[in-house]
Each structure stands twice: as structure tokens, then as C-alpha cells.
Chains A and B, each alone.
Chain A
Amino acid sequence: MSSKLFWPAIMLYLVIGLYLNYVSYSVPLLEIKVEKENGKWGVTQPYYKDWTGWRNISSDDVILRVDDVPMDHLNQLKYKSKIMAANKITIMKPNGDIQDIHIKHLDIPHQFYYIFLIPACYYVLTLFITFYLHFNQKNTKLTNLLILFMLTVALAYVSSGVSSRVNGIGIIVNRSSMILCLVLLLHFLRDYHLFIKINWLFTNNIKFFYIFPVIAFLLASISVFYPTSYYFFNDVVLTLFFIILLLILSILLLSYFKYKSPKLKILLSSILIPFLPFLFLYSLPEIFFDKHILSGETSSLFLLLIPFSFIFTQLAERLFDIEYHITRLRYYIIFSLIFTLWFTVGLYWIAGKYLTIPVSTCVSCFTFTSLIFLFYIKEKVDYRKRKILFSTKGDYIHQLYTAVDRIGKTIKINELLEKFAHEVSLHLELEQVFVLTYDYDTNQFTSTIEGRLSINPALIEDIKLGEIRKIENIYLAFLHQDAHFKRALVLEHNNSIHIKDEELLWLELLLLYVNNFIENTKMVEELLEELKHMRQADDSQLPWLNKLLWLRFEEEKYQLAQELHDTNLQEQLHIAREVDVLVNAKDPADIQQKLVKIHKQMVVSLHELRAYCENLKPPLLDTLGLNAALEKLIRKVIERASFELFYKIDRLYLEDERMNLMIYRLFQELLNNAMKHSYATTVAIHLQETGDGFKIIYKDDGVGCNVDDIIVAESMGIRGMQERVKAFNGYFYIDSQVNEGMSIRITVKEGSDTLDYDAYSG
């Protein structure tokens, strides 16, 4: 069925529809039962009891003419003994007065609404929707069938009022469209099954069924020309109608129970649910209680929803979207219904005697609809303002959680982007999801998948942080931006897509997370790079340091050797010579005396050597401890120095035993400096225990110096001391002015990470 059929169908629809509506409008429907008694027409019973004109007519009156047509010639009476429609009825009262009763539509509002106004509205509405479908949706066969179906239903509905006026065209249109709409529905369902790839359980030869509308058309035409056959043919058509209807329902039920597809479930419910009001509010109460809750006209209005529910299934191509809306609506309805019941019971209990049933019913209905509206409004507000969404499943949070978990395991940005696109594609069921990257340096676009780009990549430049924009058939979402790159996520689908609020929120959150994650991943990458760099630098630094240390040690050894050579070695050589002389001496008399002399020399030499050793390796430090060693050092200084030395040495308890050597060296250095350079009269030195380390406080009243000079000049070993203290994470403060003496304060804390002393000392 091609779209060429569209305009002819619309034209036909317009012509027939306008005519039918005109008929419907021109004459109000009355349905007054009349009976011919003694050649005179009398009124028995009107169909519409609320007709105000009824007051003017009594059972004794004789109806002469309807719309100036004598009763005996009235066409309507050929079918039923009813005056179906009339603008004017001429009656004769028993006293012989002839009276014209004019009937206007609004005299009988009930018939006006149900027979004219609502069908007319439905007619116009269908027209609009048809146009909308035609111009906004792709002209698939399904849509065309749906359009035809809707048009037929509208015609059937409009013609129903006209056909009860026993208007020939009305009858024909009504009967044939009744059957045609079902056949079209059958056809639509067959194609829909094909579309959603579910096996069609019934015959594929739908064309055959188009015979039935033709039959209905023929039968109706015959009944127009031969009114006596009217009722029979009418029954035939109705039977046909119900047979086809049952057929459709049973096909749907069967295939639903066979395939359990949610799409079929919706289809089925969209057909069945509109029947429910008719069944429960009209037919069943009528059968069991002889009373109806809703009039037949009103409850059958719901049947007209069927075509619209199909539109739903067509507008959004993916049916589970509808399921989402339906579950949400069901959720809201249940809540509203429970509350409404509660409210109504309460209302009735409190104010039951003041309220009539209709008022209570209206209040309940109002409450119910208001609540449903309230829920929808709340949902919108929540989404806009607080990013909270209604969810019937709570699945989204879980999905987000697992998606984040999966993405979070990557450590490289490209891998991350691919995984992210994959997750989105999986979750939103879109085939084409990829990340588009714009490189500012090279002005080039790259994407995570190979192949065509269906959008103009330049669009990426416009979107801002956190934005998800729909451009034609794709969604473009901002992902991340830095100095070099701008990244965006592109979502596309073969057909047009529509992402629900819930999914959008999911996507937004995920985008936010990925944005942060890229930022962090970049940082990690940079840090790793830096570490690698540092390690390389370290590797290159160590040989240099080793070389330096080696050179320093060699230098030190050289110096020691030189010193020993110049002093002790010479003495030992001298002693050896003396002994050699004695060995070869002829005169033994002097030997004893000379040996005593040599022994003395040797002891002196030994003492010197010992002093030398003591200088290299401080005595007592290992054996008697720091305090004994320092006391000894100080004793020696006091023996030799020209200044008065005040000292105080606290007992220290240091965790690092090697610290003792450092303290000893510092004392040695400070006191040597004092002896060599200070020219002081008094020197004070204090080793003070602190909470987590120690302090050395030195003060003299000597000549002092310019601090900057001595540090630069590297004399007095100040710099060496400074370096040593620094190596132990300590602080070295020196304060001195020329002729103002010198004060030095050294603080070292233990517990803070000390540099590896082994490396320092070699």
C-alpha cells in the first residue's frame, strides 16, 4: 500500500465525513416511538427522557407531520416505528388545535453531545493526527495502514449517528467502515508482527479479507433499497463484525501467550483496556443489576482510544519506551486510586449527608486526575531542579554502578574512551556510539571507530561543558576538554532516536564521571612519566655520585698516607736504623743505655700514632659511650686551650647510635675552631637534650667574623658541619659579627627520616 493512496483516501474521508456531519447537525436525533392507531399516529415513548419538548406532547396527541412531511409518507418509518430525527413536529391536540413543536439541538443536550459534537471532534482530531503522521513519520506501510485504520474508525463513528437516522449513505458508510476497520486492523497486526520479527500465527493472505467490507457495502446498499431486509442484513454485518473481532483478539492472545513479547503485551492491552469500561461499567451492571454506571454511549467512547494507543506504538519506534510510560502511569494510577478511595471514604464519613452521589463522584474524579497530574508535575520538577527521576525498576543506578566499575579499571585514556562508548552503546541499545576527539594542535578530528562520520565534526566546537544536544538524528554529548583536546560522545541510530529523561540522566552522570576520570587518568599518566624521568635521572646521577665519593676517599687515603709517611714512618725508620747500629755494635757496654733511649723514642712514636688513630676514630665512643668520649675530648682541650671552657653535657638517649659520632665530630670541630681561630677568653658549649633529639649551643667572645665570608671561603669547616647537620635533617644557625664573638646553634631531630647515613659515610 503506497502513499499514493493517501490523498484519495483523505479526499474520500473529507467528502463523506463532511456530509455525515452535516446530516448529523441538520436534524436532531429524537427516537420517538410512535404507533399507528385507527389510522392516527400517536406517541408512545421518547428515547431521550430529558427532552423538554416532551411536556408539550401527551399520549392523546396525534402527530400529523414531521418536517412538513405527512406521517404516512415519512421515510424513517419504513424501518422502525420511530421518529428518528426531526426539526419540527406538527401535532394535533385532542381539542383540535394544531401545534408546531420546533426541536433544537440543545433541547436535548445528551444527543447533541454524543451524536453530533463528540463524533465531530473525533473526526477533526483524526484528520489532524493523520496529517501529522503522514508528514512527520516515515511513510512505512505500517504507518499508512494505521492512517487508514484511524480514518475508517472515525468514519464508522461519525456515521453511526447518521445511520440511526436511517439515512441511506449513513447506513452504507457505517456498515462497510465497521468491517473495513477490523480488516485493516488485522492487516496492520500482521505487518506489525513482521516488523517486530514475531511469527504471525494466522494466514498471510490478508487480501482475501477485504471481501468482507465489500459484502457489508453490498448488504447495506440492498437494505437501503429494500427496507424490509434492513434488520436481517444489519444482524449479518454485526455478526461478521464480532467474528472478525474475536478472531483478532484470539490471534493476539495466542501469540502473546506463545511469545510473551512485551510489545505484544502492550498491543493486547491497548486493545483490551478500552473495552473494560464498556464491560464493567455498562454491560455487566446492566446484565446483573439492570442498572448501568456509565451510559453505553459514554463507555463506548473508550473504544475510540484504540487507534490512538496504536499511534503510541508507532510514534516511538521502540516499544519498551511505551512500556516505561505505561508502568509509570500504572504506578501513579495505583497511588492516586488508593488515595482517592481513602479520601472519598473519609469525605463520605465526614460530610456524607450533605453530599449527593454525583457530587461525591465528581470530587473523587477530580482528586484522582489531580493526583495523577501532580505526580507528573512533581516528576518534571524533580528532574529539572534536582535531577531526580521516577524509576519503576531502580535499574539505572545499578547500571550506572556497574558501568562506572567497568570503566574504572582502565589506566589509559584511549582504552577508557572505548570502554565508555561500548558501555553506552550496550545500555542505550544504540549501534553507533563513539567518541569524537578534536585535536587543537593539528586541527584534526579522530574517532574511536573507523569509518564514516555522519555529522559535521565542527559541531563539536559549539557544545559546552555538561551539554547533551540533539542534532537531527544524533545526540552529541560533551565529554572532556583540555588544552590539547576536546572530546565529545556521538550517539546515533539507523532510525531516529529519542533518549528518555531517565537515560539522559544516566548518561549525564556517566559523562560527569568519565570527565573526572579522564582528568585523573591524565594526572596519573603524567606522574608516571615524571617518575620514569626521575628514575632515569637517578640512574645517571648515581655513577656521578659514586665517582665523586670514590675520588674523595682516595684523596682522604692519600692524605692519611702522606701524614703517616711524614711523621710516624720517619720515626720508625730512624728507630730501625738505631737498632741496626746496636745489632752491629762492637762495644756491648753502651748497648743497655742506648736501648733504653730507643725504647723511649719508640714509646713517644707509639703515643703519636695513638693520637693519630684517636683522631681518626674517636676513642671511648664505642666502649664507654658519648659522654665519656666528650669528657675526654674536653679534658684535652682544657689542657691545651688558652681560653676558659664552660661546658655542660646532657645525657642523650638517641635511637640512632651513629648520631653519637656526628655529635662528637661537631664538638671536635667547634672546639678546634675555637682553639685555632677564635682568640676567645671564654668559650661555652652545651649539649642539650630535647624532646626528640638534641641541640648543641656554642658561644665564644672571640674575634668573630663575617659569616658570609667564612661560608664561602670554606675555611674552619663550617660548611662541612652545615652539610653534615643537613644530612641528618638538622638545622645549623650561625651568628657572628667581626669582634662580636660567634654563636652557633645546631638542632637535630630524630624520628624524621634521616638520609641514609651509610651512603654518606661510605
Chain B
Amino acid sequence: MITMLIVDDHPIVLEGTKKLFQENEDIIVDTESDATHVIQRIKNKPYDIYLIDINMPFENGINLARNIKATQSNASIILYTGDDITDYYPLILERKIEGILAKTASKEQILRTVRAIANGEIVLPQNFLDFLDNRFKLQDAKLDIHLNEKEKKILRLIAKGHTNKAIALELNIPQRTTERYLTQLFSLLNVDSRTDAVNLAERMNLL
């Protein structure tokens, strides 16, 4: 039995996607059109798999994915987008999502991906390997990350145990901007928490 929640702001897409799973009794599908309701909803009733649109007006799919993972660590997330899916391959490497599907994908592709992910496997298009190639080339090029002054400053403030608010005061910027900076920095370092960021920076002598 697989439980799944589809999140998309377009009712037509929600309806159409739900229809794809009608014949499969082992997959139980719920839908949600408002991304901001999701977290509250899954606190009472968690799902195995979340199929999430990326472009949504109040909260984009990537943010939502992070929030779901934070709430429910065993959640599996598949992004379902009309965009070019190759852009989002890095998220798979960063373990932020388990899979990605184009909205133009066939019913079969979708079912296959959902079932595989439910079994703890991943299904990816072939061009993922191209992405990996490029990625490793680039990785070679910038094997040692050079942090710029602003990044170092932020890291040092984190290492000192400053809260976001304190960092915001220190840098004289709004707290919201600080959060954005931290997200950007964490994604650069490929870490999820402040502790990881500081540990990594120390390990790699970035500071």
C-alpha cells in the first residue's frame, strides 16, 4: 500500500494526475491545491510519497520539499514540473528530492517512478548521466571551494553561535534576507544545518 499526496495549484492538473492512479488500488491518492496547508495537514496524516509541482504562487515546490523533509524525515518527494527537469538534477544529488517528473511524462513513466521510489529505488532519465559528467568536471575545477569575504563572515558568525537575528543585526540587513543568505550558503556547501556548515568549513579550512 502506497499513500501519496499530490500538491499542485492547478485543479485541472490535480484532477488529471489523480486519474492516472485510479486503476491502481495499491496507490491511495489525496490532493492539495494550497502549498501552505500541506505541513499542517501531514502532521496529522503523513504520506509515503509527495508529488509536488514546482511553480506555485505562495510557496514553491523546492521550499515545500525541504519543509516536508524537516517535518517527516522518511518522506519521499517527487517534483512534478512543466519546467526543464534537468535544471533540478542537483536536488537529487543533494538528497533534497527522490525523483523528478516532467509534466509531459507518460502515465507509464509516472507509475514506474512512483512504485520504484516507494520500493526505495530511483528512476532517472538517461541525460542524468550527462549532468553527472558535467558536474564532476566542474567539481574537479572547483574542488576546493573558495569562500568570498561575505560567506566567511557569515560562517564565522554562525560558528560563534549567533542566531539569525543576531547575524541580521551584525550585517545590518533584514532577518528575511539573512535566511536567504544562509540557504544560499548551505546549498553551496551542500549542508543542511548550521552545525554541518561550521564542521565542513573547519574540516576544509575554509575559514
A620 sits at the interface (CB 8 A): yes
Q: Which stretch, B110-118, B119-127, B177-185, touches the partner chain A?
A: B177-185
Q: Which stretch, B1-9, B14-22, B80-88, touches the partner chain A?
A: B80-88
A206 sits at the interface (CB 8 A): no
Task: Taking A651-B188, A689-B148 as given, write out 11 further A-B residue pairs in contact, using a Cβ cutoff of 8 Å, ordered by the A residue number.
Answer: A610-B82, A610-B83, A623-B62, A624-B87, A624-B90, A625-B184, A625-B187, A653-B181, A653-B184, A655-B174, A657-B180
**Interface size range of chain B in the complex:** 20 to 34
What residues on B are CB-neighbors of A653 within 8 Å?
150-151, 154, 181, 184
Whether the Cβ atoms of B83 and A689 lie closer than 8 Å is: no
Distance of A316 from chain B, by nearest CB (Å): 69
B173 sits at the interface (CB 8 A): yes
Q: A330–B173 Cα gap in the complex (Å)? A: 71
Main secondary structure of the interface of B (DSSP, over half): helix
Q: A620–B84 Cα gap in the complex (Å)? A: 10
Distance of B87 from chain A, by nearest CB (Å): 6
Distance of B186 from chain A, by nearest CB (Å): 12
Distance of B48 from chain A, by nearest CB (Å): 24
Which residues of A (591-642) have their CB < 8 Å from a CB of B? 603, 606, 610, 614, 619-620, 622-625, 628, 632
Q: Pick from B54, B82, B154, B173: contact of A623, CB below 8 A.
A: B54
**Chain B: which residue is nearest A626 at the CB level?**
B184
Q: A622–B84 Cα gap in the complex (Å)? A: 15
Whether the Cβ atoms of A655 and B84 lie closer than 8 Å is: no
Of the candidates B60, B87, B154, B188, the one having the most CB atoms from chain A within 10 angstroms of its own CB is B87
Q: A623–B62 Cα gap in the complex (Å)? A: 7
What residues on A are CB-neighbors of B174 within 8 Å?
655
Whether the Cβ atoms of A620 and B184 lie closer than 8 Å is: no
Q: A619–B88 Cα gap in the complex (Å)? A: 11
**Interface positions of A (Cβ within 8 A of B):** 603, 606, 610, 614, 619-620, 622-625, 628, 632, 650-651, 653, 655, 657, 689
Q: A606-B104, A651-B184, A657-B180 are in contact. Are A622 and B87 (CB under 8 A)?
A: no
**Chain A: which residue is nearest B147 at the CB level?**
A651
5 pairs of A and B residues whose beta carbons are closest in the complex: A653-B150, A623-B62, A623-B60, A653-B181, A655-B173
Q: Pick from B61, B87, B177, B184: contact of A619, CB below 8 A.
A: B87
Whether the Cβ atoms of B177 and A632 lie closer than 8 Å is: no
Main secondary structure of the interface of A (DSSP, over half): loop
What residues on A are CB-neighbors of B83 within 8 Å?
610, 614, 619
Distance of A577 from chain B, by nearest CB (Å): 21
Whether the Cβ atoms of A628 and B87 lie closer than 8 Å is: yes
Distance of B64 from chain A, by nearest CB (Å): 11
**Chain B: which residue is nearest A632 at the CB level?**
B87
**Chain B: which residue is nearest A620 at the CB level?**
B87
What residues on B are CB-neighbors of A632 within 8 Å?
87
Q: Count A/B pairs, Cβ under 8 Å.
A: 42
The 16 sampled A-B contact pairs (Cβ below 8 Å) are A619-B87, A620-B87, A622-B60, A623-B54, A623-B60, A623-B61, A624-B62, A632-B87, A651-B148, A651-B188, A653-B151, A653-B184, A655-B174, A655-B177, A657-B180, A689-B150
Q: Pick from B84, B173, B188: contact of A610, CB below 8 A.
A: B84
Query: B146-189 toward A: CB 8 Å interface, digit per residue (1/0)?
Result: 00101100100000000000000000011001001100100110
Distance of A497 from chain B, by nearest CB (Å): 65
Q: A624–B100 Cα gap in the complex (Å)? A: 15
Whether the Cβ atoms of B104 and A619 lie closer than 8 Å is: no
What residues on A are CB-neighbors of B87 within 8 Å?
619-620, 624, 628, 632
**Chain A: which residue is nearest B188 at the CB level?**
A651
What residues on A are CB-neighbors of B148 within 8 Å?
650-651, 689
Distance of B57 from chain A, by nearest CB (Å): 11
Whether the Cβ atoms of A651 and B151 lie closer than 8 Å is: yes
Q: A655–B178 Cα gap in the complex (Å)? A: 9
Distance of A687 from chain B, by nearest CB (Å): 12
Q: A610–B62 Cα gap in the complex (Å)? A: 19
Q: A657–B181 Cα gap in the complex (Å)? A: 11
Query: B41-63 toward A: CB 8 Å interface, digit per residue (1/0)?
Result: 00000000000001000001110
Q: A620–B91 Cα gap in the complex (Å)? A: 12
Distance of A37 from chain B, by nearest CB (Å): 123
Q: A619-B83, A619-B84, A655-B173 are in contact. Are A603 and B184 (CB under 8 A)?
A: no
What residues on B are CB-neighbors of A625 within 8 Å?
184, 187
Distance of A634 from chain B, by nearest CB (Å): 12
What residues on B are CB-neighbors of A651 within 8 Å?
148, 151, 184, 188
Q: A657–B173 Cα gap in the complex (Å)? A: 12
Distance of B79 from chain A, by nearest CB (Å): 10
Q: A689–B62 Cα gap in the complex (Å)? A: 26
Of the candidates A603, A620, A622, A653, the one having the most CB atoms from chain B within 10 angstroms of its own CB is A653
Distance of B126 from chain A, by nearest CB (Å): 17
Q: A622–B148 Cα gap in the complex (Å)? A: 23
Query: B90-117 toward A: CB 8 Å interface, digit per residue (1/0)?
Result: 1000000000000010000000000000
**Chain A: which residue is nearest B174 at the CB level?**
A655
Q: A628–B151 Cα gap in the complex (Å)? A: 18
Of the candidates B61, B90, B150, B188, the one having the most CB atoms from chain A within 10 angstroms of its own CB is B150
Distance of B66 from chain A, by nearest CB (Å): 11
Q: A610–B85 Cα gap in the complex (Å)? A: 12
**Chain A: which residue is nearest B151 at the CB level?**
A651
Q: A624–B173 Cα gap in the complex (Å)? A: 21
Q: A761–B158 Cα gap in the complex (Å)? A: 36
**Chain B: which residue is nearest A629 at the CB level?**
B87
Distance of B181 from chain A, by nearest CB (Å): 5
Query: B68-84 toward A: CB 8 Å interface, digit per residue (1/0)?
Result: 00000000000000111
**Chain A: which residue is nearest B150 at the CB level?**
A653
Q: A717–B84 Cα gap in the complex (Å)? A: 28
What residues on B are CB-neighbors of A610 within 8 Å?
82-84
Q: A512–B177 Cα gap in the complex (Å)? A: 55
What residues on A are CB-neighbors of B177 within 8 Å?
655, 657
Q: A26–B92 Cα gap in the complex (Å)? A: 142
**Chain A: which residue is nearest B54 at the CB level?**
A623
Q: A121–B176 Cα gap in the complex (Å)? A: 101
What residues on B are CB-neighbors of A650 within 8 Å?
148
Q: A626–B44 Cα gap in the complex (Å)? A: 36
Which residues of B (125-159) have their CB < 8 Å from a CB of A? 148, 150-151, 154
Q: A610-B83, A632-B87 are in contact. Are A603 and B181 (CB under 8 A)?
A: no
Distance of A648 from chain B, by nearest CB (Å): 11
**Chain B: which residue is nearest A606 at the CB level?**
B104
What residues on A are CB-neighbors of B104 within 8 Å?
603, 606
